[in-house]
Structure 1
Amino acid sequence: MNASLPCVLFVDDEERILRSLRMLFRGRCEILTTTSGSEAAEWVRRRPVHVVVSDQRMPGMTGVEVLREVAAQSPATMRILLTGYADMDAVTASVNDGEIWRFIEKPWVARYLVDTVEHAARVAQHDFALAVARLAVPPPPVVGNAPIAARIAVLDNEGSLAAQVRDVLPAAVRVEHAFDLESTLELLADHDVAVVIARLSSTDGDVADALKQLKRLRPATLAIVVSSLRDSRLLIGLINEGQVFRFLLQPAPRELLRRGLAAALERHAHLRAQSDLLQRHAVDAPRQEPIATTTGRLLRAWRRLREAATLRSA
C-alpha cells in the first residue's frame, strides 16, 4: 500500500456494506474495515487513522459511542457518521458527544461520499503532520476556559436565554444580547465574537441559514443552538452546512449549557492560537443563499459582516 495514501476506517455491522465501501474506495486510500465498535477503537489506539466512517446502529456500541471514543483517543482523526436512521436522538448525540464532521445518510450518493471522505482525509493528514511538528515546539497553553477578551453573542428574542448564559459564565466573559438577526449580524461585524448561541424557534426562519453562512465567513466562531424543535433534517443541515458545535433541547439544562459554552470558548481560543486547524471547520455549501429573501436592512447587515470578514482575513 502506498504510504502517502490516507488511512480510512469503515465501521458497519453489515459485511455487504463494507464490501461496497471497499470497492468504492479501492486505490483511493488505505482501507480498514470492522464490524466491531470496540475493534475500531483499538485500531485508532494502535496506529494513525485519518478518517473513521461509522454506522450508527450496531450491536455493542453505537456509532456515536465509537466516534466519541475515537475523538478521545485521536482528536486529529476526522469523524463521519453514516447511517440509514436519522433519528433525532442519534443526530443530537453525534453533535454533542461525537463532534462529527459530517452526517451522511444511506443510501449514500457515491460521488458525495467519496468527495467528503477525501476532503476529510486531506484535513486529517495536514493535522497529523502539524501534531508531529509541534512535538518539538509545543504551543503555549491556553490558561482557563474563558480568556478575558472572550465575547459571546446571544440571539434570543425573549431574553431568558441571555440571562441564563450570563448566570453560568465567569464575569470576565462579555455576553452581548441581540433580540433579532440583524442586531446579531451587526454585532458580529463590529466585534470578534467567540461563540454565537441562538434560540431557534422555527424551521422557516433566517436563523438556521444565517448560522450556516456565518461558518463560511467566520470559521473560528462556534455556534450553539437551543431549540424545542425535534427536527433531524434541520439538525443534519446545521451539522453539514454549519458545523454547529452543540445542539441543546429547550429548556437547556444549566450544567449542559455551562459545559457546552466552556468547551466552545476553549475551542475558539485553540483555533485562534492555531489557525491551521480552521480547515477542520470547512462546511458544505448551503443549498440556498440566506440573503436571497431578506429585507433591505438585513441585507445591509449581511454586507457589513461580509466586508468585516474580508478585512479580518486580509
Structure 2
Amino acid sequence: MNADKPCVVLIDDEERILRSLSLLLRSRYDVLATTDPVQVLNWVRSRPVHVVVSDQRMPTIGGVDLLRQIRDHSPRSMRLLLTGYADLAAVEAAVNDGEIFRFLEKPWDAVRLQETIATAARIALDEFARLAPAAPVPPPVSREPAPAVLVLDEDPLTVTAVRELLPPSSLVVPATTVEAALARIEAQEYAVILAELRHSSDDVIGALKLLKQASPRTLAIACSSLRDGRLLIDLINQGQVFRFLPKPLVRELLRRALQAAMERHRELRHEPQRLRRHAVEAPREVSLSSRVLDYLRRIRDQARIGA
C-alpha cells in the first residue's frame, strides 16, 4: 500500500488486459489488479480505493452489478466501466443503477484512458480528503421552493404524466423545442430536465451534452424509443445523463427517476463540491444554432456568477 499515490483497482477476467493496464498505470498509481470480484469488494471495504476500472463481461458477475455494490460500500470511489461493445442493457443499467463516471472502450486509447483516470483520481482524492461524515442535508424548509421540472418533448402526454406523478405544488413546465427549453432555464433554475432524445428538427442530444457544462446542477433524464447503446455511452461520457428511460414510459420507473433526480439536485445545492463528480468530456460532433449556443453561454455565465 502506497499512501502517496491514489489507489486504482482493476478487475478483468483476462490476465493479459490486467497486465497491460497495470503497466500503463503503475508509475502514477498504487495499482491493485485481480480477476476476483470478491477481492475487489474486500479492498473497497478495507482501504481507500479512489478509482475502480471494471470490465463489463465477466463470468461470475457483470461489471455494472459489481460497480453498483462498490457504490454501496464506497460511494466516494469513482467507477469506470471497461467494455468492448455497446451492450444496450448494460449501458442502461450503468446509467440507472451504477451511476458510473465514464465508459472506457476496448481497445482503449492510452492517452484518453490515462486522462480519464487522472480526472477521476483527482475528484476521489478530494472527496477522501474530506472523509469525515458529511453533515446531513437539512430537511426542506417551507420557504424553499419545490424543485422545478422542465419537460422537453413534442408529445404533450409526457408532461401530463410528469404532472400526475408529482405533488400539485411542483412546477412542471413544458417545452417543445431546444430553444424554448433553454430560454426557460436561463430565466430560472430547474432541478430536472426530462428530454425526449428524438425530435423532428432539433439536436436534443447535442443540447444535453452542452447543458451539463453550462448548468451542471441540472439533472438530465433522457427518454426515447430510440435504443442505441453507442449513443447512450456518449451521453454518459459527454453529458453525464442521470437516468435513461425507454419509451413508452413506465409510470413507476418515471416516478423513481424524478424522485432520485430531485433528491440529487437538493444534495448538490447543499454540497456543491460534489458537482465535480458530474464533470464531462468535451462533446464531439455537436451542431447547434448560434441562438442555442448563445442561450447556453448565458446559462453558463449565470451559473458562474451564482457559484
TM-score range, shorter chain: over 0.9
Is the partner of 1:211 in helix, strand or coil?
Answer: helix
Deviation at 1:26, TM superposition (A): 1.3
Opposite residue 123 of structure 2, the aligned amino acid is: V
Alignment partner, residue 218 of structure 2: 221
Q: Say if 1:186 and 1:305, in contact at 8 Å, map to a contact too.
A: no
Q: Say if 2:84 and 2:105, in contact at 8 Å, map to a contact too.
A: yes
Q: Say if 2:78 and 2:120, in contact at 8 Å, map to a contact too.
A: yes
Structure 2 residues not aligned, in runs of 5+:
none
Deviation at 1:289, TM superposition (A): 4.7
Matched, 1:151 2:148: yes
Give the counterpart of 2:306 among 286, 304, 312: 312
Opposite residue 167 of structure 2, the aligned amino acid is: P
Identity %: 51
Q: Say if 1:156 and 1:199, in contact at 8 Å, map to a contact too.
A: yes
Q: How far apart are the structure 1 equivalents of 2:200 and 2:93?
A: 20
Change (3 A) 1:202 1:35: farther
Opposite residue 272 of structure 2, the aligned amino acid is: S
Is the partner of 1:154 in helix, strand or coil?
Answer: strand
Opposite residue 83 of structure 1, the aligned amino acid is: T
Matched, 1:185 2:182: yes
- What is the TM-score with the length of structure 2 in the denominator? 0.94
Aligned pairs (5 A) from 1:13-24:
13-24=13-24
Opposite residue 309 of structure 1, the aligned amino acid is: A
Aligned pairs (5 A) from 1:1-314:
2-132=2-132, 134=133, 138-143=135-140, 148-201=145-198, 205-291=202-288, 294=289, 297-313=291-307
Structure 1 residues not aligned, in runs of 5+:
none
Q: How far apart are the structure 2 equivalents of 1:48 and 1:72?
A: 14
Deviation at 1:303, TM superposition (A): 4.5
C-alpha distance after superposition, 1:29-74 (max 9, x if no partner): 1111111223222221222111110000001110000000011111
Q: How far apart are the structure 2 equivalents of 1:76 and 1:194?
A: 23
Deviation at 1:203, TM superposition (A): 10
Deviation at 1:167, TM superposition (A): 1.3
Which deviates more, 250-259 or 62-71? 250-259
- What is the TM-score with the length of structure 1 in the denominator? 0.92
* RMSD between superposed Cα atoms in Å: 1.9
Opposite residue 71 of structure 2, the aligned amino acid is: A
Which deviates more, 34-43 or 115-124? 34-43
Q: How far apart are the structure 1 equivalents of 2:33 and 2:139?
A: 37
Opposite residue 16 of structure 2, the aligned amino acid is: R
Q: How far apart are the structure 2 equivalents of 1:245 and 1:13?
A: 29
Q: Say if 2:96 and 2:244, in contact at 8 Å, map to a contact too.
A: yes
C-alpha distance after superposition, 1:69-112 (max 9, x if no partner): 01111111100000102111111111111100001110000011
Across the two proteins, how many residue pairs are aligned to each other? Answer: 305
Q: Say if 2:8 and 2:53, in contact at 8 Å, map to a contact too.
A: yes
Q: How far apart are the structure 1 equivalents of 2:57 and 2:148?
A: 39
Deviation at 1:173, TM superposition (A): 2.1
Q: How far apart are the structure 2 equivalents of 1:173 and 1:86?
A: 37
Is the partner of 2:99 in helix, strand or coil?
Answer: coil
Deviation at 1:177, TM superposition (A): 0.9
Q: Say if 1:49 and 1:77, in contact at 8 Å, map to a contact too.
A: yes
Q: How far apart are the structure 2 equivalents of 1:57 and 1:124?
A: 25
Q: How far apart are the structure 2 equivalents of 1:109 and 1:48?
A: 27
